[in-house]
Amino acid sequence: MLRAMATTTAVLGGGSFGTCLAVMAARRHEVRLWARRADVVDTINREHRNPAHLSDLALPEAVTATTDLASAVAGSEIVIVAVPSQATRQVLEQAAPHFSADVVLVAAMKGIEAETGLRMSEVFEAVLPEPLRKRVVFLSLGRSGCTMLAEFSGVLLILALAIVVAVSMLAVQRWLAPKRDFEEKLEPFECGEKQIVTPRQRFSVKFYLVAMLFVIFDLEAVFFYPFGALFRELSWHGLMAISVFTVPLVVGLVYEWKKGALEW
């Protein structure tokens, strides 16, 4: 990914929501993540993961962490505030003197301030100087939704590409395919061979039953391998467990065989 045009983004808050937002922002920007705990900052910079929140989520190389609030926001074109609502006023008061004049502030917290009963928008208005009040936007995205986007955005991208490719192929086929019908095309097999019997005859339901039984036993047979490999460790306890697993299948098969369901 090219980062020549990337902007510098600061994320204030090293919790799960702030970490998630930092990961998402790092796909297009250089990110400075501010956190209070020095051990969290040290682990993020060394191991690229947050040991306190979303520890299994790998952080991109573009994310660096710091405990210095002033250096985190200084020169940042975008500042995402993702601290708890009760800490918002204190963090804003400390960070406000270091905001650049053209900064875009993104408020990513919810709730009200317990001491004053003010909404977060009112806290921002009370703390920020007049020129910065118009540069605040509020992000309406829950923590769980943000985490899912960070973890599954790649899957969503592949799914979107698959849909685009499928629709494109259908459109191309419809555009390039012959517009006239002919006898061979109307046949179920386009190999040119004449049919011996009609393809529209009905098959007995027993045919499908046998097919389903084959699939079931084929899949269940896979579970015998770990039992055989660990027989000495499992001993007779394992044999009893695999018998409970196998006997109902065998009884069902014998029942179907006696009833003639396997003949068609």
pLDDT in tens, 141-173: 555 555 556 656 667 778 888 899 889 988 888
pLDDT in tens, 205-262: 777 777 787 777 777 777 777 777 777 777 777 788 888 878 887 887 788 788 777 7
- Among residues 80, 105, 93, the alpha carbon closest in space to that of 17 is found at 80
pTM: 0.51
pLDDT, residue 171, reads: 87
Q: Which of 39-48, 85-94, 116-125, 211-220 has the lowest mean pLDDT?
A: 211-220
pLDDT, residue 4, reads: 46
pLDDT in tens, 67-112: 998 888 888 899 999 888 888 899 988 988 888 888 888 888 878 8
Give me the mean pLDDT over the 26-43 stretch. 89
More reliable by pLDDT, 64 or 244: 64
Beta bridge partners of 10: 32, 79
* Mean residue pLDDT across the chain: 80
Cβ 92 vs Cβ 120: under 8 Å: no
3-state SS track over the chain: CCCCCCCEEEEECCCHHHHHHHHHHCCCCEEEEECCCHHHHHHHHHHCCCCCCCCCCCCCCCEEEECCHHHHHCCCCEEEECCCHHHHHHHHHHHHHHCCCCCEEEECCCCECCCCCCEHHHHHHHHCCHHHHCCEEECCCCHHHHHHHHHHHHHHHHHHHHHHHHHHHHHHHHHHCCCCCCHHHHCCCCCCCCCCCCCCCCCCHHHHHHHHHHHHHHHHHHHHHHHHHCHHHHHHHHHHHHHHHHHHHHHHHHHHHHCCCCCC
